[in-house]
C-alpha cells in the first residue's frame, strides 16, 4: 500500500504514468473505474478549501465512489481524539483519506497508523496534489517538459516545494526567486537536487525575480501569506515588495509565456488583476486540472493497494 504525502514518494516513471492517466481521464471524464465502485474517500481538513475539497468530492463521484468531508469542528484532530486513534478508526471505514493539516508531522503521524492510503491535501511543507496538477498543466500547455523553463516568484512555501519536486522528477528547468529569508526549506532543496540529477532537470534558487523570469515559458506565483501565517501579514507584505507578478515583470518572460497561480490569489499583492485575468493566464485550466490529476492519483493508489 502506498501513501502520497509528498512527490518524493513517487518516481519519475510513476509521475509520467499519472500524467498520462490524467490526460485520459480528462478526455473521458465520466468514465467510472471498477476499482473505485462503492469506495469512499474521507477528507479530514484543518484548514479551509475550495479546489481540493471539490475536486476530490467530484472526482470520487465520477469514478464510481464517493467523498465525505469531515470539518475541523467535527474531528478535532489531536484535540478531541489523538491523531493515531482517528487514523485507526477511519481506516476501518473508508478506503482513502485526504488530510489537510497545519503541521506536516500530523500527516506523517496519521499515515503511520493508517491501513488505507493517505493523501496530503496540503500541509505547511508541501502540496503535492497541487504540484501534480501543475506539472500536468505545464505539459498540456507546453509539451515536452524537458524543454520547459519555469519561474516561481514569491514565497519558498508548500506550493513552491511541490513544484520543485514535480519539475525535478519530470526533467524541467525551474528557477525559484524569493526574498532573502524566504527561500525554500533546505530539505526540499536537497530532495529536488537529488531528483533533478537523476532526470536531467535543473532547480535553482536565488533572490532576483527578473533573472528568474528571463526567457521563462511559465511564470508561477502563490500568496505571500499562507493560511496560518496571518499574524505575519504586514511583515511579509514589506519583505515581498518587488516580487509581484505584474506586466513589467512578465515582460521579461517569453512572449508566449503562461501565467500560473494555484489560487486562491490575493489580488494586488503577489499578482495584479491585469495579469491574472489577462490572455497569458491559465489559472482556471490549472484549477480544473486538479480534478483530472487527482482522479488519476486515486485510481493509481487503488491499484497499488490491491497489488
The binding site for ligand NVA (CB under 6 A) comprises 122, 157-159, 222-223, 226-227, 262
| Nearer to ligand CP among residue 196 and residue 293 (C-beta) | 293
- Strands (DSSP E) contained in the chain are 40-45, 66-70, 96-100, 118-120, 149-153, 173-177, 202-206, 218-221, 258-261
CB atoms within 10 A of CB 70: 17
State how far the alpha carbon of 47 is from the alpha carbons of 7, 151, 181, 203, 226, in Å: 21, 28, 25, 30, 11
Q: Compute the least distance from the CB of residue 50 to ligand CP, in Å.
A: 3
Closest C-alpha among 35, 65, 58 to residue 294? 58
Q: Compute the least distance from the CB of residue 289 to ligand NVA, in Å.
A: 14
Q: Compute the least distance from the CB of residue 155 to ligand NVA, in Å.
A: 7
52 binds ligand CP (CB under 6 A): yes
Q: What is the DSSP string of 168-196?
A: HHHT-EEEEE--TT-PPPHHHHHHHHHHH
Q: Compute the least distance from the CB of residue 222 to ligand NVA, in Å.
A: 5
Element of type H or E holding 208: none
| Nearer to ligand NVA among residue 35 and residue 226 (C-beta) | 226
> From CA 196, how far away is CA 165, in angstroms rounded?
8
| Nearer to ligand NVA among residue 116 and residue 223 (C-beta) | 223
Cis preceding linkage at 14, omega within 30: no
| Nearer to ligand CP among residue 106 and residue 126 (C-beta) | 126
49 binds ligand CP (CB under 6 A): yes
Residue 134 interaction partner, one of ligand CP, ligand NVA, none, beta carbon < 5-8 Å per kind: none
> From CA 258, how far away is CA 219, in angstroms rounded?
6
**Given the rule CB under 6 A, which of 43-51, 76-84, 89-97, 233-241 is the region that contacts ligand CP?**
43-51
| Nearer to ligand CP among residue 7 and residue 201 (C-beta) | 7
158 binds ligand CP (CB under 6 A): no
Residue 50 interaction partner, one of ligand NVA, ligand CP, none, beta carbon < 5-8 Å per kind: ligand CP
Q: Compute the least distance from the CB of residue 193 to ligand CP, in Å.
A: 26
| Nearer to ligand CP among residue 45 and residue 188 (C-beta) | 45
* Site residues, ligand CP (CB under 6 A): 49-52, 122, 130, 262-263
Amino acid at each position: 500500500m502506498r501513501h502520497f504525502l509528498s512527490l518524493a514518494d513517487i518516481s519519475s516513471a510513476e509521475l509520467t504514468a499519472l500524467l498520462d492517466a490524467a490526460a485520459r481521464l480528462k478526455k473521458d471524464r465520466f468514465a467510472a473505474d471498477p476499482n473505485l465502485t462503492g469506495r469512499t474517500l474521507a477528507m479530514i481538513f484543518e484548514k479551509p478549501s475550495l479546489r481540493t475539497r471539490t475536486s476530490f468530492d467530484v472526482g470520487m463521484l465520477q469514478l464510481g465512489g464517493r467523498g465525505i468531508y469531515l470539518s475541523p469542528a467535527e474531528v478535532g484532530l489531536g484535540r478531541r481524539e489523538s491523531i493515531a486513534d482517528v487514523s485507526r478508526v477511519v481506516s476501518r471505514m473508508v478506503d482513502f483519506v485526504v488530510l489537510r493539516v497545519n503541521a506536516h508531522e500530523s500527516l506523517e503521524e496519521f499515515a503511520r497508523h493508517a491501513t488505507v492510503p493517505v493523501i496530503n491535501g496540503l500541509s505547511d511543507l508541501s502540496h503535492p496534489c497541487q504540484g501534480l496538477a501543475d506539472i500536468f498543466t505545464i505539459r498540456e500547455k507546453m509539451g515536452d517538459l524537458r524543454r520547459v523553463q519555469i519561474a516561481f516568484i514569491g514565497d519558498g512555501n508548500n506550493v513552491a516545494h511541490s513544484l520543485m519536486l514535480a519539475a525535478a522528477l519530470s526533467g524541467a528547468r525551474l528557477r525559484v526567486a524569493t526574498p532573502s529569508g524566504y527561500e525554500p526549506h533546505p530539505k526540499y532543496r536537497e530532495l529536488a537536487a537529488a531528483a533533478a540529477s537523476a532526470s536531467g532537470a535543473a532547480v535553482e534558487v536565488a533572490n532576483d525575480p527578473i533573472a528568474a523570469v528571463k526567457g521563462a515559458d511559465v511564470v508561477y506565483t502563490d500568496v505571500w501569506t499562507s493560511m496560518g501565517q496571518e499574524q505575519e501579514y504586514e511583515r511579509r507584505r514589506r519583505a515581498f515588495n518587488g516580487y509581484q507578478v505584474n506586466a513589467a515583470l512578465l515582460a521579461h518572460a517569453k512572449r508566449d509565456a503562461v501565467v500560473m497561480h494555484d489560487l486562491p490569489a490575493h489580488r494586488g499583492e503577489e499578482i495584479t488583476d491585469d495579469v491574472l485575468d489577462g490572455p497569458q493566464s491559465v489559472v482556471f485550466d490549472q484549477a480544473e486540472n486538479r480534478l483530472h490529476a487527482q482522479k488519476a492519483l486515486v485510481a493509481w493508489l487503488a491499484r497499488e493497494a490491491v497489488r
